[in-house]
Amino acid sequence: MTNPDMSGMDRIGLMQTFVRIVEAGSLSAAAAQLGTSQPTVSRRLQALERSLGLELLQRSTHAMKLTDDGARCFAHAKTLLESWQAMTADLRGAKDAPEGHLRVLVPHAFGQDQLMAPLMAYLRRYPQSLSNGCCMIGVPISLLRASIAPCRSARWTIPP
């Protein structure tokens, strides 16, 4: 009952958490997406702010706004995490986990029953898919298309 492989919390994990917070829009949403608790996310954010010596985002009880420093930090964090993922991707080769976009073409009602289960299984199998950001785009049924591709501001959780 610990960490779904962030493999020991650290500065990289802290920034991963920070990015998730910003993209999720709230600490609790980030906690849900990360499969951890709200206090943990709060503490990680505090730790990052403390280690950098500046305030990243001003948070009142029902709002959240990126500081100027926070915005710069976010940009840096994105590039740095990108470097990290490039590194692991190169070192582990493609032998480990699939990579790139996953596009699915399926009727709407079919998707409800037949798509969601394998999709959830897939995301449970490769949770890092979510760290790139993951969303589902609904398209008019005439096109019969559901698309899964990287984007921002998505809120996904993987039910147990």
Would you say 30 or 77 has its CB closer to a second copy? 77
By the rule CB under 7 A, 20 interacts with DNA = no
Q: Which does 130 bind (CB under 5 to 8 A by kind): DNA, a second copy, none?
A: none
1 contact choice in DNA, a second copy, none (CB below 5 to 8 Å, kind-dependent)? DNA
The binder of a second copy chosen from 35, 54, 104, 147 (CB under 8 A): 54
Query: Which range, of 7-15, 104-112, 120-128, 152-160, touches a second copy by CB under 8 A?
Result: 7-15
Question: Which of helix, strand or coil describes residue 68?
Answer: helix
Tokens found for residue 49: 């702010």
Using the 8-state DSSP alphabet, how is residue 112 labeled? Answer: I
Q: Is 114 helix (H, G, I), strand (E, B) or coil?
A: helix
11 binds a second copy (CB under 8 A): yes
CA distances from 55 to 51, 70, 72, 84, 133 (A): 10, 7, 12, 24, 25
DSSP at 54: S
The residue written with tokens 């049924």 in the block is 141
Q: Could you say whether residue 159 binds DNA (CB under 7 A)?
A: no
Residue numbers at the binding site for DNA (CB under 7 A): 1-3, 8-9, 13, 26-29, 36-40, 42-47, 59-64
